[in-house]
Structures are given as structure tokens and as C-alpha cells.
């Protein structure tokens, strides 16, 4: 009986270990650009890495946070930057601390029209 429980426990640990950790590598790879220039993928990679999708949805459709599919038509880059940095009454600020990541995210969101 002990052997069965030990085998089952070990199998579960292996299964869970195999399921995790891949997202970080994919996000980092998506943010790397060969010529050093920022691309729209960089902003999207930051959106995913900062877990913005948990409130705003995987396709910007909104969930517990507002829909961002046309945020660039409603807000300019400076307004978007202010919201990301300072937050709002319900959204915490400072979720993206790296300046380059912030610039890429703001640029990407401002192009959502």
C-alpha cells in the first residue's frame, strides 16, 4: 500500500512539474527581438508577463477589468501610461516597473483601436 501511495504521489509531482514553468520562457522569447528594436509582440509579451490578462482578458475583451480592445481610441499614450503607473481606484499601480517594458506596453495598448 505504501508503495502505491508513494508512486501515485511521485507521479503527481512529476505531472505538476511538467505543467509549470513554460510560460516564462515563452514570454521571454517573445520579448527578444534580433535587431534590438521594439515590436508589437513586446507590448503583448509585457501584457501577459504582468498578468494584465487576468483582469482584462486574454484578448483584451475585459473580465473583472474593463475591455481594452479599443483603449487606444479612448486614451492617448500619456493617459495609458498614467493609468498603468498610478493605477485607478480599482486597479493597482506599478504593475510594470521596467521602463522599457512600460514603454512597449503603452505603445502596444495605444495601437488598440
- The answer to the question of residue 17 being in a domain is no
pTM: 0.65
Between the CA of residue 88 and those of 20, 41, 83, 84, what are the distances in Å?
Answer: 32, 26, 6, 9
- The answer to the question of residue 11 being in a domain is no
- The residue among 42 and 21 whose pLDDT is bigger is 42
pLDDT tens, residue by residue, 63-82: 999 999 999 999 999 999 99
Between the CA of residue 23 and those of 45, 55, 56, 63, what are the distances in Å?
Answer: 10, 18, 18, 21
C-alpha dihedral over 10, 14, 17, 19, to 10 degrees? Answer: -130
- The answer to the question of residue 33 being in a domain is no
- The answer to the question of residue 91 being in a domain is yes
Q: What is the CATH number of the domain that holds 87?
A: 1.10.760.10
Closest by CA to 30, choosing from 15, 18, 17, 40, is 40
Which residue range is the domain that position 45 belongs to?
Answer: 40-64+72-113
Give the total number of structural domains in the chain: 1
- The answer to the question of residue 59 being in a domain is yes
Amino acid at each position: 500500500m505504501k508503495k502505491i501511495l508513494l508512486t501515485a504521489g511521485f507521479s503527481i509531482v512529476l505531472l505538476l512539474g511538467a505543467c509549470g514553468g513554460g510560460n516564462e520562457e515563452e514570454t521571454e522569447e517573445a520579448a527578444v527581438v534580433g535587431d534590438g528594436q521594439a515590436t508589437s509582440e513586446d507590448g503583448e509579451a509585457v501584457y501577459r508577463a504582468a498578468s494584465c490578462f487576468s483582469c482584462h482578458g486574454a484578448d483584451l475583451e475585459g473580465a473583472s477589468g474593463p475591455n481594452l480592445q479599443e483603449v487606444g481610441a479612448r486614451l492617448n499614450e500619456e493617459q495609458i501610461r498614467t493609468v498603468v503607473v498610478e493605477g485607478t481606484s480599482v486597479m493597482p499601480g506599478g504593475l510594470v516597473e521596467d521602463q522599457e517594458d512600460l514603454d512597449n506596453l503603452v505603445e502596444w495598448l495605444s495601437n488598440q483601436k
